[in-house]
Amino acid sequence: MDQLLIEKFRNRINETEYAWKTFSNVKGRNQWNCICSAMDWITVAVNGIDFMHGMSGIRHGSEKTFDVLTLIMRIALIKEGIEQLHRVLYGTSEQYRKDDKIVWNGDPFGQTDNEYFEILRACFGAHPINLKGFTNSNMRQFASWPFMGTNGFSVFLYPSNSEEENLILSISFEQLEKYALLRYQHLTDMIQIIEQGNLCVRRMREVETSI
């Protein structure tokens, strides 16, 4: 993941006073602060991110499990940061890529990409001991400690209902990377918005100096 992209975005944001003047007071709301927070957390999340394509064997209790959780949390920060920047720069309340079914279009629960990502985040470390029933809303599910299974890095989902069977949920690191990149690369579009605003500021300066 190219860290230069978020650095380019930050440089464009700070190039002129356009962004600060435009977003520091939008109907009484300081959206400039939101931009600064999003830039900082995206930068931290992207710095040194490892999609773990080379991970193989894993034993019970391995610290690699927490490396996977760290990766998922990094992606969650990128996702949220991009969504906030999109909301501010596009002046919308719509969530970016809300209804996408591109990355996990064959997932076993029939969810959107965002919903399925939240399932993975929950099961692989965010709150694995207290999960809602993904196949039956009337029960709870509990995730096992992750293990390396036939389909890769996986967990068992144990049901609270004695009549239900265990499920296996697996992670594809390639799909996680695709999910993250689809959001992160939206910075390219938002850079263009900022560049247009900066251009207007520079032209106004030229007019003022020519008078």
Least confident of 44-58, 60-74, 144-158, 174-188: 44-58
- Is the pLDDT reported for residue 56 higher than 70? no
- Is the pLDDT reported for residue 107 higher than 90? no
**Residue type present at position 59:** R
Q: Two tokens at 53? A: 């394509």
Contacts of 111 (CB under 8 A, 6+ apart): 104, 119
Least confident of 53-62, 117-126, 158-167, 173-182: 53-62
- Is the pLDDT reported for residue 58 higher than 70? no
- Is the pLDDT reported for residue 46 higher than 90? yes
- Is the pLDDT reported for residue 187 higher than 70? yes
Report the candidate in 43, 28, 27 with the shortest Cα–Cα distance to residue 85: 43
Reported as a pLDDT band with limits 50, 70 and 90, residue 193 is: very high
Report the candidate in 178, 160, 167, 173 with the shortest Cα–Cα distance to residue 108: 167
Reported as a pLDDT band with limits 50, 70 and 90, residue 54 is: low
Contact by Cβ (8 Å): 81, 96: no
Contact by Cβ (8 Å): 130, 139: no
What pLDDT shows up at residue 210?
A: 66
- Which residue shows structure tokens 């996408």? 100
Over the stretch 12-41, which tens digit does the pLDDT of each residue have? 999 999 999 999 999 999 999 999 999 999
Radius of gyration from C-alpha coordinates of the chain: 21
What pLDDT shows up at residue 211?
A: 61
Report the candidate in 159, 167, 75 with the shortest Cα–Cα distance to residue 117: 75
- Is the pLDDT reported for residue 57 higher than 60? no
Average confidence (pLDDT) over 104-128: 88
Over the stretch 72-103, which tens digit does the pLDDT of each residue have? 999 999 999 999 999 999 999 999 999 999 99
What pLDDT shows up at residue 99?
A: 93
Contacts of 138 (CB under 8 A, 6+ apart): 161
**DSSP assignment string, 106-158:** T-TT---HHHHHHHHHIIIIISTTSEE-SS-TTSEEEEPPPEEETTEEEEEEE
Q: Kindly report the pTM of this predicted structure.
A: 0.91
- Bigger pLDDT: 183 vs 126: 183
**Residue 206: strand, helix, or coil:** helix
**Residue type present at position 77:** L
What pLDDT shows up at residue 134?
A: 82
Percent of the chain with pLDDT over 90: 67
